[in-house]
Structure 1
Amino acid sequence: MSETSTSKPTASTASVTSALLRYRVLAWITGLWLLLLVAELTLKYGFDVDALDFVPIVHGWVYFVYLIMAVDLAIKVRWPAGKIVWTALAGTIPFLSFFVEHQRTKEVKQQFGI
């Protein structure tokens, strides 16, 4: 099968636009909470300060919602499995979610003419 026939999206432009917006918002929120998690772990294990104990729990839940939004977008635009996995992992590595969000947004906007 050719590349164009397997990756042809079936969703409307409006549903892709709203899914992209949700994904972008969650990518940024996840990235920010991940940076806060790094700060919390640095304080906890580097300086023995337990001031931000809530951060790991919040980041976990935010990451869970990020995964849902990423999969929602992936289904609408028909990403291959490797791209879905890479996008999902982006929320676990500091600063990577910002970079991957920018890449995915650029790709989807180009693909749909948004």
Structure 2
Amino acid sequence: MPVSKDSAQSADGTADGPAVRPQPRAATPTGAGTAVPPKVLAALRRYRVAAFIVGWGLIILCVTMVAKYAFGQDWTVAVWGPIHGVLYVGYVLLAFDLAYKDRWSLGGTLWVLLAGVIPGVSFVAERQVHRKVLARQKI
């Protein structure tokens, strides 16, 4: 006797009735079983944008320093230096906001703040922070 997809088969090959299918778990933002609080997700989004902007801002600052010292273009650093300073202050504030809301360790917070002053490292720190916050691991 053919058995439909919706019924379970016993050991002797007869149908026992409808199969009991496990219900899917409610989806969480992390996929790890522990939901990330909305206030942490919002702070994480703001931090990620700031890390991206500061990362590129620092690369631009390095280019302007090359233009200043190699080509005598003093105005480049005079213009971009203060802009990058304001961007970094925003990065620090947003990193502290996320660190406070997600209860980071002092060492993790300092690592993220230091990442904003080394060219390219803010991109690495942002990926690491994003992964750990979503996995609900401590930083």
Paired residue for 1:50, among 74, 89, 94? Answer: 74
Identify which of 2, 11, 14 aligns with 2:38: 14
Mean Cα displacement is larger for which, 98-107 or 48-57?
A: 48-57
Query: Which residue of structure 2 lines up, in the alignment, with residue 32 of structure 1?
Result: 56
Q: Could you tell me which residue of structure 1 aligns to residue 112 of structure 2?
A: 87
Distance 2:73 2:90 in 1: 28
Q: Relative contact order, CA 8 A, sep 6+: which one is greater? A: 1
Runs of 4+ aligned structure 1 residues displaced above 4 Å come to none
**1:69-104 Cα deviation digits (max 9, x unpaired):** 000000111111011001001010000000000000
Q: Which has the higher strand share?
A: 2
**Cα RMSD after superposing both structures:** 1.3
Q: Distance in 2 between matches of 1:34 and 1:48?
A: 20
Counterpart Cα distance in 1 of 2:134 and 2:72: 45
TM-score (norm 1): 0.85
Matches within 5 A, 1:67-82: 67-82=92-107
Q: Give TM-score, length-normalised by structure 2.
A: 0.70
Unaligned runs of 5+ in 1: 1-11
CA distance in 2, matches of 1:83, 1:26: 17
- What amino acid sits opposite 1:90 in the alignment? A
**How far apart, in 2, do the equivalents of 1:57 and 1:31 lie?**
15
What percent of counterpart residues are identical?
39
The CA distance in 2 between the partners of 1:103 and 1:55, in whole Å, is 28
